[in-house]
Structure formats: structure tokens, C-alpha cells
Amino acid sequence: MSSAAARAEARRKAILSRGTDRLAKLTTSSGRPEDAPVPGQSQTPPRPPPAASIEDPDPPLPSLPPFAPPPNISNFLGEESPALPRSRVSSTTGRSRTTSGPSNPLGMPDPSAWSPEQQEQFMAAMMGGLPPQLTSGASTPGAPPSYEDSMPPPNPFAGMPGMENNPLAAMLMSAAGGGGPFSGETSALPSKPKTLLQRVLPLVHIAAVWALVLYFVIIREPSVYMSTTGWGLGTGKGVADRWERLVHTASGSSGVQVMPFFWAFVTLELILHSLRIFSGFDTFRPPTLLAIALPHLPSSVSATIVHGMKYWQMGSMWLDDIAAAIVAVGFVVWLSTWLAV
């Protein structure tokens, strides 16, 4: 009995010494003096165990359950977020996709995601047509036009979120001719085929310029030559000889007289361009990108651009007529080399 009691007393002292060491470490780290009373510990010395406990062997220590943190400590520390209930958004165009990632950890529906129906509408607008559901109810070819057919085609981007005021959608509608905000400028221009006079008008310019050159070569130059020199070789072979000399010499020594051809050419150009303007053939169709940008510019700037492009078109035609006159003079000189032999 004495040996068992000695072992129990030694074990008790070892346990108390370990507890005292731990308590000393805690008080040292917290800055409290060692002799300060420990809260929750009485100042009375421990009572000796009863004789029955000394005589009995050391009972086993009770096994405590594993430590489980409170259920709300993870939420308090920010380790996890509560899963919010997902709301089912019902729409006529389809169910939007839900994406989860670093920017969207809750898996909420992405408002920028398009449904397959919206993607089909976008592709149909890019290809210049209407959505399939809009073209399915079209009237037969032989039926008279109804009220729905006379209405402008609907906007295929109307059902898409954020696409009502999108400039890209407006540009696509303008290019497709679907009645977008920019289609007024392009649809106002006539899309009728060219008339016969419009097709032959370039040939009229060339024929008028060549007729003017032949008039000066055959009629005007010989009369000026005869009135200046008084010789009788103003027509016939003498004309061919004078124009043939232009191949080797200058105009002053060749005998070809100086004539006011420039003013006659300017008068002819004024007549031709006046015919185009009063006939309504000077309609200018700007390029597609320029037609899209013109409605957004100030009225003075857009008017300056349109009139500037019209004058540019007139200038290009004037250069074409000058080229036709130069070709006609060259042809006269080349033909005179055959007639002067």
C-alpha cells in the first residue's frame, strides 16, 4: 500500500508541477507578475486527498470530445460566404448563362451573356436579313401588300439588353437597310437604274470635245491662216503639211496658227455640266462610311463635304475631257503624216 500511495503522490506532484510551469509561462507572456493571484484559483492550499483515494489506484483520465468550432465562426472570420438562393429569371428570349469565377463567386446570371436566339438575330442583322421568326410570316409573292408589309422592318436588336442605343448596332442596321437611324440619308437617294441618257452622257462629252477639235483643225485654223498670210494653201494638203510639221518642229515654225481654243473649250464644258445639273444627273452618292458619319456632323460641315465631293466629281470629268482633247489633237497629227506624203 505504501508503494502505491507513493506512486500516486509522485504522479499528483508531477501533474501539479506541469500545471504550475504552464501557468508561469502564461503569466510571463501576459506581463503579470508571478506572485499575482491567478483568477479562478483560490488562495487556500489544496486539501490532501482522502485516504480512500490514496489507497485506490490512479483512475484513467477522461477522454474529451474533439474541439469543434462554433458554426458561425467561419462566417465571422470571412473564410466562407453563405450560398445565396439563386433566383430563376424567366425571359422570352431564353435562359441566360451563369458564370462563376473570381469576379462572380456566387454564380449569378451574367447580364452580358446572349442567348442563342439573340445570337441568331445578331448574325441575321450582320448578313443583311431579318431574324427567322420575322421572315416566317411573310406574304406570298402574288398577294397584295398588306398593312404589315408596308410598315418598316422591326429592329432585330430590340430584344437585346443594352443594344437599343448601341452605335455598332445602328451601323449594322444602316448597312443592312433595316430602317436604322442612319438609313434615312442613304434610302432618300434614288436607287432606280440609270436611264439611257445617263449611260451615253460620257460618250456625249467625248463626241462634243472631238467635234470641237475637228472644227478648229478643219475650219477655224485654215481661215485664220488665210487671213494672216494671204496665201491660198489654207485648206487641203496645206493643212496636212502644217500639222505634219508639228512632229518635228514647234507650233510657231510649223505654220499652225494660234487660236482661242481654251475659251471655246471652257464654254463647251459649261454647257455640258449645265446639262447634267438641270437634268438631275449630278446626284452624288457618298461612300458607305462617309454616309454613316454625315448625319453626326454639323450641318455646315456636312454640306461642305457634300458640295466639295460634287465639285471634285466635276473636276474629274473636266480632266477627262481635257484628256479626250489631247488624244484628238494627237490623232490629227498622226493622220496628217499619212495625208502629207
User: By the 8 A CB rule, do 179 and 155 touch?
Assistant: yes
pLDDT at 309: 87
pLDDT: which is higher, 308 or 172:
308
Average pLDDT over residues 142-158: 52
pLDDT at 132: 45
User: By the 8 A CB rule, do 206 and 324 touch?
Assistant: yes
User: By the 8 A CB rule, do 227 and 244 touch?
Assistant: no
User: By the 8 A CB rule, do 185 and 297 touch?
Assistant: no
Alpha helices in 230-298 (DSSP H): 237-244, 251-254, 261-279, 288-293
Average pLDDT over residues 287-316: 86
pLDDT: which is higher, 28 or 334:
334
Is residue 254 packed enough to be buried (19+ CB in 10 Å), middle (13-18) or exposed (0-12)? middle
Average pLDDT over residues 225-239: 66
pLDDT at 167: 60
Q: Looking at the structure, tell me whether residues 183 and 298 fall in a common domain.
A: no
pLDDT: which is higher, 246 or 46:
246
pLDDT per residue over 53-103, tens digit each?
444 555 566 565 555 555 555 555 555 555 555 544 444 444 444 445 555
pLDDT at 159: 55
User: By the 8 A CB rule, do 321 and 276 touch?
Assistant: no
105 is a domain residue: no
Domain boundary among 136, 168, 188: 188
Is residue 118 packed enough to be buried (19+ CB in 10 Å), middle (13-18) or exposed (0-12)? buried
Least-confidence region, from 61-70, 94-103, 198-207, 240-249: 94-103
Which residues form the domain of 319?
196-339
Average pLDDT over residues 153-177: 57
pLDDT at 133: 45
pLDDT at 325: 94
Q: Looking at the structure, tell me whether residues 277 and 181 fall in a common domain.
A: no
- In a 3-state reduction of DSSP, which class is residue 103? coil
pLDDT at 151 over 50: yes
pLDDT at 118 over 70: yes
Residue 210 banded pLDDT, cuts 50, 70, 90: very high
| Cα 58 to chain centroid, rounded | 86
Q: Looking at the structure, tell me whether residues 202 and 318 fall in a common domain.
A: yes
170 is a domain residue: yes
pLDDT at 182 over 80: no
Average pLDDT over residues 29-40: 56
258 is a domain residue: yes
- How many domains would you assign to the chain? 2
| Highest-pLDDT range among 53-62, 277-286, 320-329 | 320-329
| Highest-pLDDT range among 52-56, 86-90, 176-180, 288-292 | 288-292
pLDDT at 261 over 80: yes
Those residues with Cβ within 8 angstroms of residue 247's Cβ, 6 or more apart along the chain or in another chain:
333, 337
Provide the residue type at 57 as one letter.
P
Distance CA 20, CA 38 (A): 11
Q: Looking at the structure, tell me whether residues 215 and 327 fall in a common domain.
A: yes
Q: Looking at the structure, tell me whether residues 236 and 266 fall in a common domain.
A: yes
Residue 318 banded pLDDT, cuts 50, 70, 90: very high
Q: Looking at the structure, tell me whether residues 181 and 263 fall in a common domain.
A: no
SS (H, E, C) 172-239: HHHHHCCCCCCHHHHHCCCCCCCCHHHHHHHHHHHHHHHHHHHHHHHHHHHHHHHHHHCCCCCCCHHH
Q: Looking at the structure, tell me whether residues 280 and 242 fall in a common domain.
A: yes
User: By the 8 A CB rule, do 9 and 20 touch?
Assistant: no
Average pLDDT in the chain: 69
250 is a domain residue: yes
Phi, psi angles (nearest 5°) of residue 187: -75, -20
301 is a domain residue: yes
Q: What is the DSSP letter of 151?
A: S
Say how many C-beta atoms besides its own lie within 10 A of residue 183's C-beta.
20
